[in-house]
Amino acid sequence: MKSHILAEVDWPEFGLSEMPSGPSLDELENRINNARAAMEKRGLSHLVVYADREHFANLTYLTGFDPRFEESVLIIRPEGTPLILVGNECEGYLPVSPLHLSGKLRHECYQTLSPLDQPRSNSRLLKTIFLDEGIDEKSLIGCVGWKYLSDVEQPNAKFAIDLPSFIVDTLREISGWDRVINVTDIFMHADYGLRTFCTPSEIAYFEYANILASEGMKRMIMNMNEGMTDFEVMAQAQINGVPLGCHPTFATGERWNLGLAGPSGEKIIRGNPLSTNLCYWGSNCCRAGWIAESSEDLPEMAKDYIENFAGKYFEVMAEWLRILKIGTPGGEFFSLVHENMPYDKYGILLNPGHLIHLDEWLSAPMYKDSTIPIHSGMMIQVDVIPFSPTYFSSRMEDSVVIADGSLQKALKSEYPQCFKRCMKRREFMATTLKLELPDEVLPLSNIAGIVPPYFLNPQQIFALEA
């Protein structure tokens, strides 16, 4: 494992991206067909896909529609046009879906999905809707929410369903308790989930989101000055209205150890730790370090932050990137991180990396003894979170896509500027940071690999020895 150095580097400019168009009608139809193929493999008669404002991603992946204010339910049969149920306010938003706009997604206003005390007396009963969709006592219904359980968590886990009970109870009233099961893994399982195989159009959108997040993070760091409030620093991000994947965080001052806290009026004070993130759909850019120019600004007990904590973190993450190859089992990342950054010093609790998609956390192949291999199409969050009461943290968190030769060829053909920027980022990471990236790794962030330990001296960043 190569040793770290601190280098004086002007942060590169890789360019911006116009927001690409969403998935085409053909791509959405292909996703529906892939879902139907998974249904057939499992002997399912119906898929019932639930979504709300937070748990939207599986339905949005299938339809291009994301519910606003309300919940939504999609019903897919082996044949015929799928039906989406929406509330009062979402009905007028449905043309955002190319499927609906083309007549390939039916809809019905089911007012129970609307907020309380809105008009709700003009809808059919849910049971009647289900019956008209062919659900009967012989049906085997797969429910898709946002999470599935293992038998370690819940005996007979396939029957543990994370949809609202009034939906599940109605399905089980019709078909029987044991004929309604959880099949969320069809979309979210790290090995075979449909959303773990990104297409060129998805990569292009996710690159756009990563550019927004990373350029916002760059502006925050470059324009940070002592005495500013966290609100003033966060305003530098210039959040532009594209949907966020999670709430922006900003932890410093008295809230330094509340990692999920948002801005609260804390001031930028030399010698304090700081962590912050920006997360749009398909991206999450996070950095953590110290409000300082050098070790001289740190508390006495943390003055060896570089050599005794953050430098080692960078070295391990460099190795993490080096082994990020198609076929590498997820368990190797767990072993690498925990053997080189033991818990008693680095406090790493969560997975050493995970998959990201429209939602900030899809699933993760990186856990102890995992045999799930890295495969082409995965979008992976370089998300390893150390924490120390003495040294605080460090972070190199951005998104990368794993793309074999065929996927890279398609991306280059369909989105040549996106592909070109990815290649430029690879070149910078290799030549300036001396990071060794496998050929299949496409960095999506404009600050990929850039880790400034001292936010008041951002041109000083980590690199490896030549």
Q: What is the pLDDT of residues 350-407, one digit of tens each?
A: 999 999 999 999 999 999 999 999 999 999 999 999 999 999 999 999 999 999 999 9
C-alpha 299/C-alpha 290 separation (Å) is 10
Q: Does the pLDDT value for residue 139 go beyond 90?
A: yes
- DSSP summary character for residue 18: P
CATH architecture, domain defined by 25-188: 3-Layer(aba) Sandwich (3.40)
Judge whether residue 1 has pLDDT over 90.
no
Contact 457, 226 (CB under 8 A): no
Q: What is the mean pLDDT of residues 122-136?
A: 97
Is pLDDT above 90 for 33?
yes
| pLDDT confidence of residue 435 | 98
pLDDT score recorded for residue 466: 85
The encoded tokens of residue 417 equal 């500027």
**202 pLDDT more than 90:** yes
| Nearest to 348, CA basis, from 306, 303, 394, 380 | 394
| Residue linked to tokens 């953050």 | 310
Average pLDDT over all residues of the chain: 97
* Cα angle: 287, vertex 4, 210; to 5 degrees: 30
Give the per-residue pLDDT at 194: 98
> What token pair was written down for 357?
């998609």
pLDDT at residue 219, rounded to an integer: 98
- N-terminal to C-terminal alpha carbon distance within the chain: 12
Q: CATH 3.90.230.10 in the chain, residues?
A: 4-17+199-464
- According to CATH, the topology of domain 4-17+199-464 is Creatine Amidinohydrolase (3.90.230)
- Indicate the SS3 state at residue 359: coil
User: Sign of dihedral through CA atoms 162, 168, 171, 174?
Assistant: positive
* Interval 421-462: pLDDT, tens: 999 999 999 999 999 999 999 999 999 999 999 999 999 999
**Is 90 exceeded by the pLDDT of residue 310?**
yes
Of 207, 208, 209, 199, residue with least CA distance to 414: 199
Is residue 277 a contact partner of residue 286, using CB atoms and an 8 Å limit?
yes
Task: Dump strand ranges (E) for 329-419.
Answer: 354-355, 379-381, 399-402
- Please check whether residue 242 is in contact with residue 323, taking contact to mean a CB–CB distance below 8 angstroms: no
pLDDT of residue 259: 86
pLDDT at 37: 98
What are the DSSP E strand ranges found in 168-311? 180-182, 249-252, 273-278, 285-290
Per-residue confidence band for 129, with pLDDT thresholds at 50, 70 and 90:
very high
d(CA 86, CA 160): 24
Residue 142 pLDDT class (50, 70, 90 cuts): very high
Instruction: Return residue ranges of the chain for CATH 3.40.350.10.
Output: 25-188
Q: Name the phi and psi angles at 25, rounded to 5.
A: -60, -45
103: left (phi over 0), alpha (psi -120 to 50) or beta: left
Amino acid residing at 25: L
* Rounded CA separation 19/175 (Å): 44
Structure tokens at 440: 């299949």
